[in-house]
Amino acid sequence: MRGQITSAVEASLVQTAATYKIIVHNMHVGSDHIHLFVTLPFNMSVSSAFQLFKGRSSHDLRQQFPELVQMFRKGHLWSPGKFSRSISNVKAETIRHYIRNHQFRELNRSIHDARTEAEQMRLSSFF
């Protein structure tokens, strides 16, 4: 059943992207998280994209697998957490490589380093 759910999630994400003109460069559906490398239309916010992907996939999964309703009684299939990052200072091929090879530890290290650098550059950190 796990493989069926993974395939259903992938199909839902692809359909959502096609419907809203989101370009999916790379995707990985893990057992407890999803990585998407996408280009959003200029008139779409990141939070809107999250809402579309999470909402549609949740709806699709509940229709295809009614037993999930019993597993998630509080009504939330996905956790409220999310993370996004612009890749303006990272090459697109680097992101593709990490997702393709599931090198999340290295990707998370790069993200952590970027966060640390941003924190160090904040003016409030000088006071």
Helix (H, G, I), strand (E, B) or coil at 94: helix
* Distances in whole angstroms, Cα of residue 18 to Cα of each of 62, 67, 74, 119: 21, 28, 30, 36
- Model confidence at 5, in pLDDT bands (50, 70, 90)? confident
pLDDT, one tens digit per residue, over 25-84 is 888 888 778 888 899 999 999 999 999 999 999 889 888 888 877 776 566 777 777 877
Rg from Cα positions in the chain: 17
pLDDT at 123: 47
Task: Write the CB contacts of 73 (distance below 8 Å, at least 6 apart in sequence).
Answer: none
Integer Cα distance of 110 and 81 in angstroms: 19
pLDDT at 69: 73
**Annotation: CATH topology of 1-81:** Alpha-Beta Plaits (3.30.70)
Q: What pTM does this model have?
A: 0.66
User: Which range (5-14, 40-49, 80-89) has the least confidence?
Assistant: 80-89
